[in-house]
């Protein structure tokens, strides 16, 4: 009808007087598909054409039942439960359906590697019949169960995906338990050094975590432990005590952090903490002069440096250690599994302590850290008050500025944070620089306002942070580089501009930069227009300071795929299974995989499963090198 729109129309009749018009935009190709005299089944929404009054369908699904196609061929697109595939470029769901039908029709079956005794006990269908059923369900299948992913065929494929993931993790755990490692001794001198170092009385949770770590370190097998605690719970202090145990046994410690600011923070903290004990602490980052870096690498290689703190630069090929005994990885979710491995390979089976201040819902922890034992610090040091969180709309931001002036007048300090807009660091930098100028010249004249962003050189960042710590800067304007690890007890206000642009976990991390002293702290979320999801995030932040509750809400709002950002976290790209929806099946698969790894029915069955794991799952999960 219209060449510019490529409109194609066809008239269909039931042989009596009833007529129906089918209309397709960009459907010119259909003139070679639909021809007079064909018998066709149609599916779509029936409408009345407002101009002609004709009965009309726009873009109906159709199936040619006779004519040029074989009459005996089953209908793929209409008159049955049909799968909807996500279109990819020019490949429509209809083309996918035809392709899948052709592929499945050409196969006689496929091998099933899931151990048969598990399949029988759980009453799961075979792999071949499950795949056929999910793509082309029979007419008597329950549509509700299919759409809820609770049909037996779907359950089989979800369970299988979890089973191989969990078996890989179980094999890695088993290997760690038998691998020779370093049996560290918690000597009297180490205990004495720990007592000398402690600036305050540890909490019960810190004591419990250290006891678990010390027990692992005393074992003749490598430690693989996750130390999980909310922001400000004192994880670094526990890690420092573990470092003393390693150093007093004659070994070196490496500490890996995701950003230069956090690495510098850890370096200064450990340097001050260990100075009275006589330990040598160095910092290795991507910046700095080549000559200085070479000297630091030489100190690590000779054993002169007892603690080496660094960023990704620690993972470079030419960084070597004389006797690496303990590897500490902070904010593990910023690193992949393979990066953790590269650090471990710089020693002979060193102990590994992974730290995270991002509370992880148990479901995700099982998947992300299934190869690790877990210690949780679930209480804050005494004397800390819960942070008060308020939501303010951007047209009332002057009230926030007045509040900041009062806090500064009372001797306190504050952060004002701006988001990375549309992943553009340049834009975020401009926003922060512009606001820094506006705040320092117009809003807070006479109050020292500093600026911190990712483009500053390491020594510049350090100079700004030290000036803020000393109280010379009263208000620090920043991009999200201060998200983790920055510790200034006198800072009591965190203002987050355009808070609707941040995820829940990031908002919680930023809020955790305050509330580190005895004074009451505040977090102010300044927002513009909110959609429903952003409103739910802000409501959660205002109502709760509990990182674990916030993590559960974050997982619900964003879904597992986005929760960490799959690629860097090592979170597997699950194709059928969903960590949130299929929690019970994950638990079941983990129990079955652990039992199979511990006591396989036969050596042959075990070898078959391991070969399949290597062949099919190595690239996908990166588990076999780990296992």
Contact present, 597 and 167 (Cβ < 8 Å): yes
DSSP per residue, 156-207: HHHHHHHHHHHHHHHHHHHHHHHS--------HHHHHHHHHH-SSPPPHHHH
Summarised one tens digit per residue, pLDDT across range 548-563 is 888 888 877 776 555 5
Residue whose entry in the numeric block shows the structure tokens 């720990």: 194
Task: State the Cα–Cα distance between residues 219 and 238, nearest whole angstrom.
Answer: 18
Q: Comparing 516 with 387, which gets the higher pLDDT?
A: 387
Which of 253-267, 271-285, 400-414 comes out lowest in average pLDDT? 253-267
Task: State the Cα–Cα distance between residues 468 and 450, nearest whole angstrom.
Answer: 8
Task: State the Cα–Cα distance between residues 258 and 329, nearest whole angstrom.
Answer: 9
Architecture of domain 188-377: 3-Layer(aba) Sandwich (3.40)
Task: State the Cα–Cα distance between residues 275 and 282, nearest whole angstrom.
Answer: 12
Identify the H or E element spanning 22.
Answer: strand 19-24
Q: Where are the domains of the chain?
A: 8-79, 188-377, 388-544
Please give the pLDDT value at position 589.
93
Which of 263-272, 332-341, 489-498 comes out lowest in average pLDDT? 332-341
- Quote the mean pLDDT of the chain: 85
- Quote the tokens at residue 602: 């036969």
Task: State the Cα–Cα distance between residues 336 and 328, nearest whole angstrom.
Answer: 14
Please give the pLDDT value at position 132.
93
Cβ within 8 Å of residue 605, ≥6 positions away? 115
Q: Comparing 579 with 397, which gets the higher pLDDT?
A: 397
Average pLDDT over residues 615-624: 56
Rounded alpha-carbon distances, angstroms, from residue 197 to 191, 383, 486: 10, 21, 21
Question: Residue 546's closest CA among 431, 438, 387?
Answer: 387
Summarised one tens digit per residue, pLDDT across range 174-191 is 777 778 899 999 899 999
Residue whose entry in the numeric block shows the structure tokens 């396989």: 600
Contact present, 92 and 106 (Cβ < 8 Å): no
Q: What angle do CA 203, 205, 211 make, to 5 degrees?
A: 105
Please give the pLDDT value at position 405.
96
Q: Comparing 582 with 337, which gets the higher pLDDT?
A: 582
Please give the pLDDT value at position 137.
92
Please give the pLDDT value at position 567.
41
Please give the pLDDT value at position 552.
80
Please give the pLDDT value at position 423.
44
Same fold yes or no, 188-377 and 388-544 = yes
Q: 252: how many CB neighbours lie within 10 A of its CB?
A: 25
Q: 319: how many CB neighbours lie within 10 A of its CB?
A: 20
Residue 362 pLDDT class (50, 70, 90 cuts): low
Average pLDDT over residues 596-613: 88
**Helices 547-558 and 532-543, axial angle in degrees (round to 10):** 170
Please give the pLDDT value at position 430.
66
What global pTM score does this model have? 0.67
Architecture of domain 388-544: 3-Layer(aba) Sandwich (3.40)
Summarised one tens digit per residue, pLDDT across range 512-537 is 889 988 899 999 999 988 889 899 99
Q: What angle do CA 570, 572, 573 make, to 5 degrees?
A: 130
Please give the pLDDT value at position 135.
92
Task: State the Cα–Cα distance between residues 539 and 527, nearest whole angstrom.
Answer: 12
The stretches of 69-114 forming alpha helices (DSSP H) are 93-106
Summarised one tens digit per residue, pLDDT across range 437-492 is 999 999 999 999 999 887 777 778 878 888 999 999 999 998 866 655 567 889 99
Residue 155 pLDDT class (50, 70, 90 cuts): very high
Summarised one tens digit per residue, pLDDT across range 22-32 is 999 888 888 88
Average pLDDT over residues 153-164: 95
């Amino acid at each position: 009808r219209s060449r510019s729109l490529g409109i194609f129309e066809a008239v269909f009749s039931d042989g009596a007087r009833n007529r129906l018009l089918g209309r397709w935009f960009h459907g010119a190709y259909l003139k070679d598909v639909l021809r007079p005299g064909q018998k066709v089944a149609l599916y779509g929404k029936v409408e009345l054409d407002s101009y002609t009054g004709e009965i009309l369908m726009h873009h109906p699904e159709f199936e040619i039942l006779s004519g040029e196609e074989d009459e005996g061929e089953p209908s793929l697109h209409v008159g049955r439960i049909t799968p909807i595939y996500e279109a990819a470029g020019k490949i429509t769901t209809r083309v996918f359906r035809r392709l899948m039908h052709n592929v499945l029709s050409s196969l006689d079956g496929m091998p099933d590697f899931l151990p048969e005794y598990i399949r029988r006990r759980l009453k799961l269908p075979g792999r071949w019949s499950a795949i056929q059923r999910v793509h082309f369900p029979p007419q008597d299948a329950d549509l509700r169960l299919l759409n809820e992913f609770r049909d037996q065929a779907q359950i089989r494929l979800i369970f299988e995906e979890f089973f191989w993931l969990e078996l890989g993790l179980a094999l890695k755990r088993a290997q760690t338990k038998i691998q020779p490692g370093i049996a560290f001794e918690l000597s009297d001198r180490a205990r004495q050094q720990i007592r000398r170092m402690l600036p305050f009385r540890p909490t019960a949770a810190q004591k419990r975590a250290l006891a678990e770590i010390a027990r692992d370190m005393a074992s003749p097998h490598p430690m693989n432990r996750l130390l999980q605690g909310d922001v400000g719970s004192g994880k670094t202090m526990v890690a420092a005590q573990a470092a003393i145990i390693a150093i007093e046994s004659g070994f070196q410690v490496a500490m890996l952090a995701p950003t230069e600011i956090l690495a510098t923070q850890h370096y200064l903290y450990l340097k001050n903490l260990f100075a009275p004990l006589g330990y040598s602490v160095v910092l290795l980052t991507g910046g700095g002069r080549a000559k200085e870096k070479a000297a630091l690498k030489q100190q690590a290689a000779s054993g002169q440096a007892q603690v080496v703190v660094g960023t990704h630069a620690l993972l470079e090929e030419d960084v070597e250690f004389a006797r690496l005994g303990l590897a500490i990885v902070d904010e593990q979710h910023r690193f992949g599994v393979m990066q953790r491995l590269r650090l471990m390979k710089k020693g002979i089976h060193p102990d590994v302590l992974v730290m995270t201040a991002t509370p992880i819902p148990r479901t995700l922890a099982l998947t992300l850290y299934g190869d690790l034992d877990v210690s949780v610090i679930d209480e804050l040091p005494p004397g800390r008050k819960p942070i008060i969180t308020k939501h303010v709309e951007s047209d009332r931001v002057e009230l926030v500025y007045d509040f900041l002036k009062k806090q500064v007048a009372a001797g306190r300090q504050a952060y004002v944070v701006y988001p990375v807009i549309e992943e553009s660091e340049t834009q975020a930098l401009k926003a922060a620089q512009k606001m820094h100028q506006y705040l320092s010249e117009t809003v807070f004249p006479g109050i020292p306002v500093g600026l911190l962003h990712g483009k500053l050189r390491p020594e510049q960042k350090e100079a700004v942070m030290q000036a803020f710590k000393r109280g010379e800067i009263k208000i620090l304007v920043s991009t999200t580089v201060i998200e983790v690890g920055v510790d200034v007890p006198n800072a009591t206000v965190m203002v987050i501009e355009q808070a609707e642009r941040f995820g829940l976990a990031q908002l919680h991390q930023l809020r955790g930069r305050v509330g580190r002293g005895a004074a009451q702290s505040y977090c102010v979320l300044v927002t513009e227009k909110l959609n429903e999801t952003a409103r739910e995030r802000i409501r959660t932040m205002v109502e709760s300071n509990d990182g674990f509750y916030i993590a559960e809400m974050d997982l619900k709002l964003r879904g597992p795929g986005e929760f960490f950002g799959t690629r860097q976290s090592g979170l597997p790209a699950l194709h059928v299974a969903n960590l949130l929806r299929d929690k019970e099946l994950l638990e079941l698969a983990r129990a079955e995989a652990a039992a199979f790894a511990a006591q396989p029915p036969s050596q042959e069955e075990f070898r078959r499963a391991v070969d399949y794991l290597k062949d099919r799952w190595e690239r996908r999960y990166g588990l076999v090198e780990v296992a």
